[in-house]
Amino acid sequence: MRKANVRKPSRLWIALWLLWSITATAEFRPQAAGSEKTATPPRTVYQVKPEDYQADVPAQPPARMLSQTETEIRWRVEWQSEKTGRGVRLQLAAIRVYATIQTGKSWNSAPNDPRLLMHGQGHLELSEIFAREFELRLREAIHKGSPLTASGSTLGEAESAMHRRLLEKLHEDRYLLEERHREYDKATDHGRSRTTLEQRQATHAERLKELAEKLDPLPKAP
């Protein structure tokens, strides 16, 4: 018998290190991905604040680097479970993906500098765009009848397998995310060009709105 289950699994701290080194005014390194235990936030992008940079500034930071912003891709999932002869099979029924800032691993030597905050915000927005695109692909697969599945001898094993599958799917496009952040740093001169930062902010807002409308369309008038 198949039944719907809303799962709230524990945090899954699986490293998603993007392997490059950047010496700049500000640096971005997406670090991890996992499931979120608390309530899902609304479809908005968090506004980076000075107090979000809680990690200690390194005693000897890389040359010219004034801050480091680390983000994380997180999700909440809903699936259908089905008992099989070998255990349990899960089928992805719904998913919500979003980006957050890792405050405990982000540092800023000038947290009240508007330029550095704007630059960090841009990196968070890029991660949120990537998260929404990832969610859209998975939801389209569900709609087409080819959802992600995972199995295990127990429900716990099946849940772990499902998160591994999600992480594998996320990793398929990680190089795209890396390239977007590299290009953003180059275009904005690592946060030095305020004009370009403002232009990118507008571009990000447009793309985020477009994705939000696809993921959460307004109900049609009767």
Write the pLDDT tens digit of every residue in 19-49: 222 222 333 444 345 555 555 566 889 999 9
Mean pLDDT over 206-219 rounds to 89
Across the chain, mean pLDDT equals 81
- Judged on CB neighbours under 10 Å (0-12, 13-18, 19+), 99 is buried
Q: Cβ neighbours of residue 66 under 8 Å, at least 6 residues apart?
A: 25, 26, 108, 109, 110, 113, 116
pLDDT digit string, tens, across residues 144-185: 999 999 999 999 999 999 999 999 999 988 889 989 988 998
Backbone angles phi and psi of 131, in degrees to 5: -60, -45
Alpha-carbon distances, residue 123 vs 69, 71, 119, 215 (angstroms): 8, 8, 7, 21
Q: What is the pLDDT of residue 169?
A: 92
Q: What is the pLDDT of residue 160?
A: 93
Q: Cβ neighbours of residue 188 under 8 Å, at least 6 residues apart?
A: 119, 122, 196, 197, 200
Cβ atoms within 10 Å, residue 175 = 10
- Judged on CB neighbours under 10 Å (0-12, 13-18, 19+), 127 is buried
Q: What is the pLDDT of residue 41?
A: 60
Q: What is the DSSP letter of 86?
A: T
Q: What is the pLDDT of residue 50?
A: 95
Crossing angle for the helix pair 174-187 and 114-143, to the nearest 10 degrees: 150
